[in-house]
Amino acid sequence: MQTAKRIEKLPPYLFVGISRKIAEKRARGEDVISFAIGDPDLSTPPHVIERLCEAARDPINHRYPEIDGLPQLRRAIADWYQHRFGLTLDPNKEILPLIGSKEGIGHMSFCLIDPGDIALVPDPSYPVYSMSTILAGGEPYYLPLMEENGFLPDLGKIPSDVAAKARVLWLNYPNNPTSAVAHLDFFERAVAFAKKYELAVCHDAPYTEVAFDGYRPVSFLQALGAKDIGVEFHSLSKSYNMTGWRVGMAVGNEEMINALMRMKSNLDSGIPQAIQHAAIAAFSGPQDCIPEHNLIYQRRRDLVIEVLGKIGIEAKPPRASLYIWARIPEGYTSAGFAAKLLDEVGIVVTPGTGYGACGEGYIRISLTTPDDRLQEGLVRLEKWHGESRVWSLESPVTRGAVGGTLDH
Ligand SMILES: Cc1ncc(COP(=O)(O)O)c(C=O)c1O
């Protein structure tokens, strides 16, 4: 038996490796605290679970669902977009529910990329944009996200022959892993760039509801003309702590939504219907869980930033997302520093290079660790630094704003 060449081209998925390493340490009886994965520790709101249980008991929901989702779910998504972003979307043509946004993102590459085509992919970024490009036979062209640019790609630096060969520009704000945010003027420049080179734009936006200090992230589709060339991927995973239920959506350009529907109808059979009812309850029910959860993340964010500051690792508090993107001390690689933390204090963080070469020099710390474990992790970190002085406090790392607060 021989697997296809395209499988050989893929590196192992980042978090599979991390999870295995944690499991091995735990099997040896070591107490490992993970700040690695962006999977909310908080529960799905009770009214959503109640609706899910009720719908699971109804035999009508035991059968194959429709690929394009229940009309009531598409309507609930349209209402939510209207209410949250002031955008009007046609539930029959401009909305497609997904089995979590990850599968939609992956399948969208197959809708846009033919062998040899280029996809413009930020570096660092969520790995699915580049991996699905490669699986579709295309080639990612990486756009460096630099701290001095607020972690926004410099579209003006993309060579015109590359832009002409490109089919899609991937964007993601609030950003994973850098936690940067983008404003409408940047999205409008992205729309103009995409129109000039006849590209599609895919904006991945699962973190618009996870924001702090009163900040309210915008939708890419609010940019003038965005729907002419682009879609936005969204998810219930982070907004309503529903990572385990697998439900998200793509919204926007009708042609792109239709292509994704055609692709998916040949590969999957839609979202289990009881979960679709849970999603409707999440969108249409009380929304107070969102600010409540954000306050918890905000408190954790402040605790982590304070301790990082004390041990000489400077990181600005993010305005949105579940992550702190911190500069590591001089003299280490991201992978080396992450390995040191795991080996010496049993703390897991994600090395920045897991998201691309430009992630070198950074680690990502997730705020989804339960309060007591987070406190314990921070105590360990402070004590470890105090005892071993593995890097000098005399040269704290001060490299400006992490969190992308620049208005580009
Ligand atoms: C930027 C980004 N996009 C998409 C996803 C996938 O979310 P979902 O659970 O909807 O598949 C994640 C999950 O961590 C993410 O960070």
| C-alpha 159, offset from chain centre | 27
Rounded to the nearest angstrom, the distance between the alpha carbon of 100 and the centre of ligand 1 is 8
Asked whether the beta carbons of 385 and 311 are under 8 A apart, the reply is yes
Rounded to the nearest angstrom, the distance between the alpha carbon of 235 and the centre of ligand 1 is 7
SS3 content of the chain, % helix, strand, coil (to 5): 45, 15, 40
Q: Give the Å distances, CA to CA, from 268 to 7, 103, 130, 249, 272.
A: 20, 10, 22, 15, 11
Which residues face 136 on adjacent strands?
A: none
How far is 234 from 231, CA to CA, in rounded Å?
10
Q: In terms of DSSP bridges, do strands 139-144 and 347-348 run parallel, antiparallel, or are they unpaired?
A: unpaired
Q: Give the Å distances, CA to CA, from 50 to 75, 259, 280.
A: 21, 34, 12
Q: Give the Å distances, CA to CA, from 150 to 68, 127, 147, 164, 404.
A: 37, 20, 5, 26, 4
Measured at the alpha carbon of residue 364, what is the angle toward residues 42 and 132, in degrees to the nearest 5?
90
- Exposure letters 357-366 (e unless 16+ CB within 10 A, then b): ebbebbbbbb
User: What per-residue confidence (pLDDT) applies to 398?
Assistant: 33
How far is 113 from 274, CA to CA, in rounded Å?
33
Q: Which atom of ligand 1 is nearest to the CA of 104?
A: 11
Ligand 1 pocket residue status of 40, Cβ below 6 Å: no
- Of 379, 378, 399, nearest in space to 330 by CA: 399
60 burial level (CB within 10 Å; 0-12, 13-18, 19+): exposed
How far is 53 from 275, CA to CA, in rounded Å?
9
Strands in 362-366's sheet, in edge-to-edge order, are 323-327, 362-366, 350-351
Ligand 1, pocket-test mutation among 19, 41, 102, most atoms within 8 A of CB: 102
Report whether the peptide linkage leading into residue 124 is cis, meaning its omega lies within 30 degrees of zero: yes
Ligand 1 pocket residue status of 234, Cβ below 6 Å: no
How far is 328 from 378, CA to CA, in rounded Å?
16
Ligand 1 pocket residue status of 235, Cβ below 6 Å: yes
Ligand 1 pocket residue status of 350, Cβ below 6 Å: no
Tokens of 28: 């040896």
SS3 277: helix
Q: How far apart are the first and last CA of the chain?
A: 51
Measured at the alpha carbon of residue 201, what is the angle toward residues 200 and 204, in degrees to the nearest 5?
145
User: What per-residue confidence (pLDDT) applies to 37?
Assistant: 87
Rounded to the nearest angstrom, the distance between the alpha carbon of 389 and the centre of ligand 1 is 36
Torsion sign over Cα 25, 26, 32, 34: positive
Q: Which atom of ligand 1 is nearest to the CA of 238?
A: 9
Torsion sign over Cα 225, 287, 243, 151: positive
Tokens of 332: 């280490």
Ligand 1 pocket residue status of 126, Cβ below 6 Å: yes
Ligand 1 pocket residue status of 204, Cβ below 6 Å: yes
- Of 316, 368, 38, 33, nearest in space to 176 by CA: 38
Ligand 1, pocket-test mutation among 176, 240, 268, most atoms within 8 A of CB: 176
- Residue 218: phi and psi, rounded to 5, are -95, 165
Rg (CA), the chain: 21
Q: In terms of DSSP bridges, do strands 33-34 and 347-348 run parallel, antiparallel, or are they unpaired?
A: parallel
SS3 64: coil
Q: Give the Å distances, CA to CA, from 400 to 216, 268, 406.
A: 23, 45, 11
Ligand 1, pocket-test mutation among 16, 101, 322, 350, most atoms within 8 A of CB: 101
Q: Which atom of ligand 1 is nearest to the CA of 176?
A: 1
User: What per-residue confidence (pLDDT) applies to 387?
Assistant: 81
Ligand 1 pocket residue status of 101, Cβ below 6 Å: yes
| C-alpha 83, offset from chain centre | 23
- Of 137, 143, 109, nearest in space to 125 by CA: 143
pLDDT per position in the chain (408 positions), as tens? 989 988 887 877 666 777 777 888 889 999 999 999 899 999 999 999 999 999 999 999 999 998 899 999 999 999 999 999 999 999 999 999 999 999 999 999 999 999 999 999 999 999 999 999 999 999 999 999 999 999 999 999 999 999 999 999 999 999 999 999 999 999 999 999 999 999 999 999 999 999 999 999 999 999 999 999 999 999 999 999 999 999 999 999 999 999 999 999 999 999 999 999 999 999 999 999 999 999 999 999 999 999 999 998 989 999 999 999 999 998 999 988 998 899 899 999 999 999 999 999 999 999 999 999 999 999 999 998 888 766 654 443 433 323 322 222
DSSP 348: E
Ligand 1, pocket-test mutation among 96, 109, 126, most atoms within 8 A of CB: 126
User: What per-residue confidence (pLDDT) applies to 14?
Assistant: 64
